[in-house]
Structure 1
Amino acid sequence: MTYRELVIWLENRLGTCHLMVNRSAKEPADLLQATGLHDRLVRELLQAVYKANRCYHIRALVSAECTLAALQPVREKVLDQPATDLSTVRFLDTIDTAVREAFAVPTPSPAQPTGGASQVIALPRWRRLGKVG
């Protein structure tokens, strides 16, 4: 899969409200046409994927391993911000799922809530609080 194909795949999976692709673009900076709901985050994620895969143009091949590895530091940065809301966390999960589907990589199953109407958001293991003292 090429970088361009991945971005188009994401547009098809996430919808044009999140990213709208300029299919005639020749450069990565021109690939996104419009501002989406999480514009800055999408641009940061796509730039990280481009760099991690050492792309030299938008038709360069990207790998699942490099792409998923590029998403993780951005995710961690966003989760560290105190202003991060549930919508943004869900959007990050949706991007992760869409990328995994693009490369046919199985999605790890999240922890299931234990009753009630509440929702548990699974964070990476190292983010959980440890015993103090």
Structure 2
Amino acid sequence: MKKTLFLLSTLALLAACNHEDKAPAKPAPPSVQATLVPPTPPTDQWVGKWIGVEGLNLTIAKDDAIGRGHYILTMQYGLDAGDTGTFKGEEADDGIAFTRPDGPQMLRAGDGEATGLKWLADKKDCLIVATGEGYCRQ
């Protein structure tokens, strides 16, 4: 009987020692979280209306249905009536990536000189798709 009691006590102690308390993972401190993901993407500052030359224009809105870093781009990007549309864009390393009928594009920040358009050369706050296609804030 003593052996059985000793054996059961030993098993109970071993079971208790083997039990691990699993505390929930703690979130990273705010200072670390701030370095992981910015609270808002820098491209959120681009939301609004941008003007190009000869009637070209671009309007950027957040796509809240999808979430952070997603945008809806409404643009007249060429002089032909068919060079207009609304496109979904997504934050990328260099700006906002989107695709329109003429292929994948990247909207990036620059100044008027970088647009390659003499009518915008003196502007400071611009977005550029390619040389010859740019939009600036007024």
TM-score normalised to the size of structure 1?
0.26
- The structure in which a higher percent of residues are helix is 1
- The structure in which a higher percent of residues are strand is 2
Higher relative contact order (CA 8 A, sep 6+): 1
Report which of the two structures shows the higher radius of gyration computed on alpha carbons.
Answer: 2
